Amino acid sequence: MSSIAVIVPFFARGPSVLARTVRSALRQQGVPTPHVIVVDDGSPQSAAVELAELAPNELARVRIIRQPNAGPPFARNAGLNAVPSDTKWVALLDADDTWHPDHLARAVQTLELGYDFYFTNHERGVTGKPHFVHCQFDPDAHPRLPIGETARAFEGDFFTRSLCRTPVGTSTVVYRWATLGDLRFPLFPWTWEDLMFWLLVADRTKRIAFDSAVRVEYDPGGIAGADGWRSPGELRRKLWYIQHFANVRSRFQLTSDQRKMVDEECDRHAEGFAISLLGLMRYGTLPERRVLWDFIRWRPKIMMTLVVVAIRQVPKLFGRRGEASPDIDA
């Protein structure tokens, strides 16, 4: 069967679950053992130390690339640049996530029907529900493929669907190297480079398929888990969304409806930023200066946003301690 390369960017300040993650890739059933490329992005906790517990035959299928810390898009691109020439499929896997044993077999079986890009449903412990439910993606709106009950062809405008609340999770993606192998993750600073990558894919191909079954388990933590709505981490997260949508506007020629969607999302995340900022201040915590300054630079109408938020949300924010947080979910 055809070869598969797996790209795993890695950065950890202490002991991690990298060995567990890599094993979930090496022990896939129904496909040849993939070639795993771990990119150690200047991690304080060395990837080599983390993977020392693997058996010699497992380590033989793993290549570790170490580079100075640069961030996830640089690490993923370094891995993509090292993909062997005989590779047919590339799979993405974050260092704290794990695959079900049949993930790659199901992906290859689906892609072999003539598709270029594949993703599957996933679950993160912190949400308690599958991602397709979380992002309101209905698999039943797409035609079934003749390889089981859960494989489907994506039907419709994948670009527009990927603009907001994308159904794609990075660790679920497998794609055809011959068609998409020249794509790289955009290197915009402080943004969601994976969300931009899906838009680049949508510009390249319409042959997209997915599986509605949960075949990937996401770590409950990570950047998407944030630290709670009233935290410096949430401020950074909202800022990155604002920057992402500004980058989308500048990079792609959008229709009027798509521009409206992007602008509404930008406004929503700006309001979420203001809610989190007021929540921090309520508990006596000052935001990071750089984050606040970048927000003002990217969103000069911050005062108007704060006024609107104050009118709508201050009664909740400054009410009794322990009240549920406002609805600012991304």
pLDDT in tens, 14-23: 889 999 999 9
Contact indicator for 2, 89 with CB cutoff of 8 Å: yes
**Residue 92 tokens, joined:** 């993405």
Q: Give the model's confidence band at 324: pLDDT under 50 very low, under 70 low, under 90 confident, else very high.
A: very low
pTM: 0.86
The arithmetic mean of pLDDT across residues 99-127, rounded, is 93
pLDDT in tens, 144-175: 999 989 999 999 999 999 998 899 999 999 99
Q: Give the model's confidence band at 306: pLDDT under 50 very low, under 70 low, under 90 confident, else very high.
A: low
Contact indicator for 325, 317 with CB cutoff of 8 Å: no
Query: 277 — phi, psi (to 5°)?
Result: -60, -45
pLDDT at 26 over 50: yes
Query: 98 — phi, psi (to 5°)?
Result: -135, 150
pLDDT at 121 over 70: yes
Contact indicator for 87, 3 with CB cutoff of 8 Å: yes
Question: Which residues does 6 contact at the CB level (< 8 Å), separation at least 6?
Answer: 25, 34, 35, 36, 37, 90, 91, 92, 93
d(CA 242, CA 263): 9
Give the burial class of 310: count Cβ atoms within 10 A of its Cβ; 0-12 exposed, 13-18 middle, 19 or more buried: middle
pLDDT at 198 over 90: yes
Give the burial class of 135: count Cβ atoms within 10 A of its Cβ; 0-12 exposed, 13-18 middle, 19 or more buried: middle
Instruction: Measure Cα distances from 188 to 9, 193, 201, 215, 234 in Å.
Output: 17, 7, 17, 30, 19
* Amino acid code (one letter) for 269: H
Q: Of 175, 168, 220, give the one whose Cα is nearest residue 194.
A: 168
Count of beta carbons in the 10 Å neighbourhood of residue 187:
13
pLDDT recorded at residue 330 = 39
Calculate the average pLDDT of the chain.
87
Q: Give the model's confidence band at 270: pLDDT under 50 very low, under 70 low, under 90 confident, else very high.
A: confident
Q: Give the model's confidence band at 280: pLDDT under 50 very low, under 70 low, under 90 confident, else very high.
A: confident
Q: Give the model's confidence band at 32: pLDDT under 50 very low, under 70 low, under 90 confident, else very high.
A: very high
pLDDT in tens, 37-61: 999 999 999 999 999 999 999 999 9
Q: Of 220, 200, 177, give the one whose Cα is nearest residue 89.
A: 177
pLDDT at 328 over 50: no
Residue indicated by tokens 């950890």:
12
The arithmetic mean of pLDDT across residues 252-273, rounded, is 91
Residue 201 bridge partners (DSSP): none
Of 252 and 303, the structure prediction assigns the larger pLDDT to 252
**Residue 49 tokens, joined:** 């130390």
The arithmetic mean of pLDDT across residues 235-247, rounded, is 86
DSSP 144: B
DSSP 27: T
pLDDT recorded at residue 287 = 75
Residue indicated by tokens 């640049």:
81
Give the burial class of 2: count Cβ atoms within 10 A of its Cβ; 0-12 exposed, 13-18 middle, 19 or more buried: middle
The three-state secondary structure class of 216 is strand
Count of beta carbons in the 10 Å neighbourhood of residue 132:
20
DSSP 130: B
pLDDT at 231 over 80: no
